[in-house]
Amino acid sequence: MTQLKPILTHLDSIPSTPGKFKPDKSSPYNLYRLRFHPTLFPRFTLWSFFFIFFIVLLIFFSSPTNPTTGNSRRSLKNSLSPSPPLGPNWERRVRASARPRSKTGFTVLVTGAAGFVGTHVSLGLKRRGDGVLGLDNFNQYYDVGLKKARQGLLERSGIMVVEGDINDAVLLRKLFDAVAFTHVMHMAAQAGVRYAMQNPALDTAKKSTGSGGKKKGAAQLRIYNLGNTKPVPVGRLVSILEKLLKVKAKKKVIQMPRNGDVPFTHANITLAHTELGYKPTTDLEMGLKKFVKWYVSYYGSKKKKSSW
């Protein structure tokens, strides 16, 4: 009990009402606390200031977008090109391009219009009197200059090609608000089996809305094959090109890679012949002859221009 008296005496000295407690300055602990605590606060404040300043600099100088590099991303890099500048003049050009020349003509939006098939489809529709508007994102999977040349050809034929992506909902809404299309020829696609295997996410780079909750259901899908009915070996193709180009190919035969290539392909065109009256008239040799004529003319003229 005698040992507890100093402790009880100390407790009695503490005020029972709230107030500012005055510690005993004679205590060694309190002397240490009073001596060092004021210096810790400025140090903490200083380091906090430097930390916040560093974070602000990091946010300010960091790039808002992550650049995509490498060949494996060259097409995905431009798969969502920015929408073109929209305005009254742009809408007038869109409507003029899509206006059919005949009363019975269609009004067609051709996606992938700067591609090989898309260009020829657009020209064919225009020749028969339909109104045609093209849409292409001009990705860099292969020579963009070739696509631009096709765009120039279409423009000279009265067909406007809008530079944009089919996944750009804002752009598509603008186009369909400006023009009442009767048909859409969907030719836009990512070329290359190998590229599709390296970048499978590109196939799902769009939102799937499904058909639930809609007043009208989608039209039934029908497939018409328009390919060759007889398989053609690669060696046969090379031999014809050697003959037409008058050069000897450097052949390097390797084992077929397991990357989507198949031993042979051919199409059954019976349904297309029966319902559409489709009957191919150009065989492989004639088609390659036309291709070589165009190839030499196009790339030969480019070489001449580059040497000027």
Sorted by where each begins, the domain ranges of the chain are: 73-191, 221-298
Q: Is the pLDDT of residue 71 over 50?
A: no
Q: What is the pTM of this model?
A: 0.63
Half-sphere exposure at residue 176, Cβ-oriented, CA atoms within 13 angstroms: 10
Residue 111 β-bridge partners: 135, 186
Q: What pLDDT was estimated at residue 87? A: 81
Strands in 131-136's sheet, in edge-to-edge order, are 160-163, 131-136, 107-111, 183-186
Q: Give the residue carrying structure tokens 């019975």.
A: 104
* Cα Rg, the chain, nearest whole Å: 36
Q: Which two tokens stand for residue 241?
A: 């090109």
Cβ-contact 150, 75 below 8 angstroms: no
Residue 109 β-bridge partners: 133, 184
Reported as a single tens digit per residue, the pLDDT across 13-59 is 444 444 444 545 454 444 444 444 555 455 556 666 666 766 766 66
Q: Is the pLDDT of residue 64 over 60?
A: no
Cα separation, 129 vs 53, whole angstroms: 66
Cβ-contact 193, 262 below 8 angstroms: no
- Phi, psi angles (nearest 5°) of residue 282: -110, 115
Q: What is the CATH number of domain 73-191?
A: 3.40.50.720
Mean pLDDT estimate for the chain: 76
- Phi, psi angles (nearest 5°) of residue 102: -115, 155
Q: What pLDDT was estimated at residue 307? A: 33
Extended beta strands in the chain, E state = 107-111, 131-136, 160-163, 183-186
Cα separation, 16 vs 179, whole angstroms: 85
Q: In terms of pLDDT, which residue wins out, 299 or 308?
A: 299
Question: Worst-scoring range by mean pLDDT, 157-161, 260-264, 296-300?
Answer: 260-264
Q: What pLDDT was estimated at residue 189? A: 81
Interhelix angle 144-156/116-127, rounded to 10 degrees, is: 0
Reported as a single tens digit per residue, the pLDDT across 203-227 is 555 545 555 666 777 778 888 888 8
Q: What is the CATH number of domain 221-298?
A: 3.90.25.10
Q: What pLDDT was estimated at residue 259? A: 67
Reported as a single tens digit per residue, the pLDDT across 150-202 is 999 999 999 999 999 998 999 999 999 999 999 999 998 877 666 666 666 55
Reported as a single tens digit per residue, the pLDDT across 104-157 is 999 999 999 999 999 999 999 999 999 999 999 998 877 889 999 999 999 999
Q: What pLDDT was estimated at residue 299? A: 82
End-to-end CA distance of the chain: 113
Cα separation, 109 vs 252, whole angstroms: 43
Reported as a single tens digit per residue, the pLDDT across 75-106 is 434 444 444 557 889 999 999 999 999 889 99
In this prediction, what percent of the chain has a pLDDT beyond 90?
40
Q: Is the pLDDT of residue 70 over 70?
A: no
- Phi, psi angles (nearest 5°) of residue 158: 85, 20
